[in-house]
Amino acid sequence: MFEKKPKLTSTKTKKRDIPSGLWVKCDDCDEMIYNQELIANLKVCPKCDRHFPMTARERISALADMGTFQETNANMTSVDMLKFTGMAAYTERLKTYQRQTQLNDAVITGLCQIRGHPVTLGVMDFTFLGASMGSVVGEKITAVIESATERAIPSIIVAASGGARMYEGILSLMQMAKTSAALARHAKERLPYIAVLTHPTTAGVMASFASLGDVIMAEPKALIGFAGPRVIKETTQQELPDGFQTSEFMLEHGLIDIIVHRKELRDAISKTLQYFAANGGRKSKAA
Ligand SMILES: [Zn+2]
């Protein structure tokens, strides 16, 4: 009655022989994506919409008007103040990451225009030591906010961070107060500040400038929070609710204002800038 079926062997467990760098596997939907296609799609999975991490340079070219970005403090580099030799010498780590990422530290800052609106832009890069905030990250973020205050223009920061940079001890924690104080001076002039939270934005960065935006945007399904879910679970011994510390959870609980798909981010930012520009470029007194 039935034809004898040939025995099937599963190919699922078989490792596919893929030349590295050409194809990327999406961890969410298992789709194999041609790397060039992923880059052309702003690093968003064409099948399931997963937002892959972007480098700071990719992010800047996706947001800034072409040819307008002028980098500031490009040559600022960290020094090993504590002579940190714990797990690996800090200076060695810095050198390795500088070579691998072609960055001097975990943030790129500068001036640019977004759809014709002049702004300052700071973009963190998770590929450099987990975008941890040390003195250089804190100083560059502070300087770029101060530059926005001097020029009376809005400031935008695209955040991503694993937290404070332990290699710099207390110096890295001081950056939380320093960046927040720069934003307070910017806010005193009623100048707008937009924070864009990307996967993952946590710890010292989340507890300072990332959560201080007049408008806080987040990419879908980004991990956002102070301590990570595993730490909270182990400390409290409590089961955490579904989707805990995702953008969607944070929106529901009022910590962020809007979730924006990466393809719509430039539009959302420029519309927000347009809104403030129509108001004389300043926040209303009541805000
Ligand atoms: Zn996918």
Instruction: Kindly indicate the confidence band of residue 14, based on its pLDDT and cuts at 50, 70 and 90.
Output: very low
List the single range of 74-78, 144-148, 199-203 with lowest mean pLDDT.
Answer: 74-78
Report the separation in Å between the CA atom of 48 and the middle of ligand 1, taken as the mean of its atom positions: 4
Phi, psi (rounded to 5 degrees) for 81: -60, -35
| Per-residue pLDDT, 6 | 58
Say whether pLDDT at 29 is over 80: yes
| Per-residue pLDDT, 84 | 73
| Per-residue pLDDT, 32 | 95
| Per-residue pLDDT, 285 | 72
Q: Do the beta carbons of residue 158 and residue 127 sit within 8 Å? A: no
Q: Where are the domains of the chain?
A: 20-52, 53-277
Q: Do the beta carbons of residue 171 and residue 255 sit within 8 Å? A: no
Rounded CA gap, 224 and 154, in Å?
Answer: 24
| Per-residue pLDDT, 242 | 80
Report the separation in Å between the CA atom of 253 and the middle of ligand 1, taken as the mean of its atom positions: 27
Report the separation in Å between the CA atom of 62 and the middle of ligand 1, taken as the mean of its atom positions: 21
Say whether pLDDT at 69 is over 80: yes
Instruction: Kindly indicate the confidence band of residue 283, based on its pLDDT and cuts at 50, 70 and 90.
Output: confident
Structure confidence by residue, pLDDT tens digits, 183-193: 999 999 999 99
Report the separation in Å between the CA atom of 196 and the middle of ligand 1, taken as the mean of its atom positions: 22
Token pair in block for residue 85: 């030799």
| Per-residue pLDDT, 19 | 54
Q: Is 236 helix (H, G, I), strand (E, B) or coil?
A: helix
Report the separation in Å between the CA atom of 283 and the middle of ligand 1, taken as the mean of its atom positions: 39
Report the separation in Å between the CA atom of 125 and the middle of ligand 1, taken as the mean of its atom positions: 22
With left for phi above 0 and alpha for psi between -120 and 50, is residue 81 left, alpha or beta?
alpha
| Per-residue pLDDT, 13 | 46
Q: Is 26 helix (H, G, I), strand (E, B) or coil?
A: coil
Structure confidence by residue, pLDDT tens digits, 39-49: 999 999 999 99
Token pair in block for residue 43: 């690093």
List the single range of 2-16, 144-158, 248-262 with lowest mean pLDDT.
Answer: 2-16
Question: Hey, which of 95-99, 167-171, 238-242 has the most confident mean pLDDT?
Answer: 95-99
Question: How long is the chain?
Answer: 287
| Per-residue pLDDT, 155 | 98
Q: Between these two residues, 254 and 81, which has the higher pLDDT value?
A: 254
CATH number of 53-277: 3.90.226.10
A 10 A CB-CB count for 138 gives 28
Instruction: Kindly indicate the confidence band of residue 244, based on its pLDDT and cuts at 50, 70 and 90.
Output: confident
Torsion of CA 255, 261, 266, 272, to 10 degrees: -40
Q: Between these two residues, 218 and 15, which has the higher pLDDT value?
A: 218
Report the separation in Å between the CA atom of 47 and the middle of ligand 1, taken as the mean of its atom positions: 5
Say whether pLDDT at 79 is over 90: no
Maximum pairwise Cα distance, the chain = 84
**Which DSSP symbol is given to 17?**
-
Report the separation in Å between the CA atom of 221 and the middle of ligand 1, taken as the mean of its atom positions: 13
| Per-residue pLDDT, 2 | 52
Say whether pLDDT at 23 is over 90: yes
